[in-house]
Each structure stands twice: as structure tokens, then as C-alpha cells.
Structure 1
């Protein structure tokens, strides 16, 4: 039962670290309208800020996917520092409540965000996100689409089609080049690259 971005924004209002709505909700915040139902609410924070977000959610029931991607969850213990490859945390208000937030940890080096998939993909942290008309921070659509390109599903195609017209040429080229690193034959690349663009 996903929380809503506006609910999370209230809860994170006191956060002294950067955070961004991610996933499908990030795309909806970019386009300014609802596109489809959601199974969860994704939130991205930098790994180096995990103790701060752990303190912010101290009253929540938090479980980490260990190992990632295999459906095995264990409690995220207070004071525990999660090391790579652990990055996926399931959150609910109480042990009896449904899961409502999926917290994801990503890497950073100094002033740059670094993709957890490969250190070759990076951006200045100041370019990692945008703000909605109501001030909610969300992950830049080109970064969100890069993550969605790994294993594209029908909902990811919906998100791509909705946000593609809003991407400027620098965003399109960045995304096309980022996808080329991890999925060089992905069909989105042909839709993104202008005819005279060259990979950098």
C-alpha cells in the first residue's frame, strides 16, 4: 500500500540530507499528471546519509533486502551501516502495517552521484533531481529512465513515452550514452539520439 509523495514530503520535511522521490512517481511529478497505478513509493538517498535517514525513520519497521533481488528480507538494525551491494530497504510504519515505502541507497563521491551499477555513470548531485510545483524533490527523469532501462516492463514503456517529449537534448544524450554503457542494444537509444549526435 504505497504512501503518496506529498505524505512523504511532510514526513521528510525535517531531513537534513538530500532525498528524491524515485520510480514511477518521479516520472509523474516530472510530467505533472498521474499515469498509472503504483505498487510502492520509491525514495532515493545517498548511502553516506543512511544513518540520518535511519534516525528519521526510527519508529518505523525497516527491513533490508539481503541479498538484493532475491526476495529475502531481514531487519535493518539500529546503528547498522549497510555496505554495497545492500541498497534496498522496505519500510512500513509498524510490523502490522503494509509495506508503503521502498528506500534505495545510491553512491556518491564528493559532489557527484555515482550509479550503483557502474562508477562510469555519474552526475553532479545538484543535477540529480528536480522539484515539483509543490516543492517535492524527485529524481531527474533521465536518471530514473536509466534505471528503468535495465529490464523494461510495460509500465516503464508508459513512463518513457510520457516523459520523452520533456527531455532536452543534453538530457537525451546523457541518457542514451548512459544506457550504452549497460545495455548498448536497448531500443530507447535510437529514440533518444538526434541523427547528428555522437557519443562522448
Structure 2
């Protein structure tokens, strides 16, 4: 039998995700989030990322009743996520499929928080009020704010990340561009995207923290 991680994907659509997770606090992340922000198709997607706060992780199990949940336990093992189990911090992703299916449908990503502050998983100096994390499409689908999704993509941008940056950059407000520039500079130092974003003006860098 093939390894679980080698099974093919048949990703749910954002609309299908909205129906599955309707009773939980969640948002679309990854490339789909950029596409929802742009308001138009940009490229094919091999999977779909659904994010929620780690403190709300068991709501994903309740939303996906009758599904299989497999925790991505570093350094690369997929193992069953037991009902009611609180996943350790090292586990950031859960792969999900309907029971008996040979295809993955949803990847759940667990984000960190402290009270009502969201914490960037790669650098805890970058924080945002949880209430500012998401935008909502006219059809009611929540998705990660594009400047935050671009920060995730900035660490090691691939060709598709460069394309996503180019597609959504003209749609960002001055405040969104400024936040992204500061967050990239704080977490990455020099970066080619900074030449296309405004010069940093906020004093938060003097505090070594971005909120």
C-alpha cells in the first residue's frame, strides 16, 4: 500500500469548505486565500488549506464528523488524530479525508494565539488582533487577509508565490502594504519584495515587535 502522504488530492472547493465548517471559526488560507482576495481565478490548486486557531482545534473534528483526521507529526509522519486529542505545538497541520476515501480533501492548519492576539508561527514578534485576520467575500467565505498570506509566502517564494504577490499587490491598501513591508523586514531582513512596497515608517521596529 502506498504511504498516506503519497495519496492523491481531490481538494474541496471554498464553497464546500464553507458548508463543512459553517459552525466554526475558520478561514481559507494558502493560494486560495489570494485568489479570493483577488476576486478571480489565478491558477490551478493542488490542495486547499483551512486555518483556525489552535485553541479551537477540536471544532475541526466536530465539523468533519465521519471523516478521517491524520496529524502531520514532524519530521514527516502522518498518524491518526484521536478524537478529543489536543495536538502538541509541533503539529501544525492535519490532513483530512472522508472515511474510506483514497483522496485527501482538506488540510487543516493550526495557528497560534495569545488571548485575542494572533501570533505568526515563524516569528512571535509579529502579532495581529484576531479580529483583523480575515476578510469575507461577498458570498460569505472568510479568507486570510492577503498581506498576512503574502508574509507566509515571503520566506522562500516559489514561482507561484511570485505570481500571487504580483496579482494581489495592486489591490492592497497603503496600510496593508506598510504592514507587509514591516513584517517582511522584521522576519526576513532584506527581501526583493521590499523594493515594490513602501518605505517603512512605523516605529514598531524599534520595539522589535510588530502588532
**TM-score, normalization by structure 2:** 0.88
- 2:167 aligns with 162
| C-alpha separation in 2, matches of 1:96 and 1:126 | 35
Q: Does 1:118 align with 2:123?
A: yes
Q: How far did 1:199 drift?
A: 4.6
| C-alpha separation in 1, matches of 2:61 and 2:155 | 28
SS in 2 for 1:45: strand
Q: Does 1:82 align with 2:97?
A: no
| C-alpha separation in 1, matches of 2:186 and 2:91 | 22
Q: How far did 1:96 drift?
A: 2.6
2:50 equivalent among 43, 67, 80: 43
SS in 2 for 1:108: strand
| C-alpha separation in 2, matches of 1:96 and 1:138 | 27
Q: How does 1:1-200 map to 2 (within 5 A)?
A: 1-15=10-24, 18-67=25-74, 70-194=75-199, 197-200=200-203
Q: Kindly tell me the number of residue pairs found equivalent between the two proteins.
A: 194
Runs of 5+ in structure 2 lacking a partner?
1-9, 204-211
Aligned Cα root-mean-square deviation (Å): 1.2
Runs of 4+ in 1 over 3 A off after TM superposition: none
SS in 2 for 1:151: coil
- 2:4 aligns with none
Q: How far did 1:136 drift?
A: 0.3
CA contact (8 A) 2:20 2:64 kept: no
| C-alpha separation in 1, matches of 2:191 and 2:76 | 27
**TM-score, normalization by structure 1:** 0.93
Q: Deviations over 1:127-168 (max 9, x none)?
A: 100001101000000000000111111111111000000111
| C-alpha separation in 1, matches of 2:189 and 2:176 | 17
| C-alpha separation in 1, matches of 2:61 and 2:185 | 35
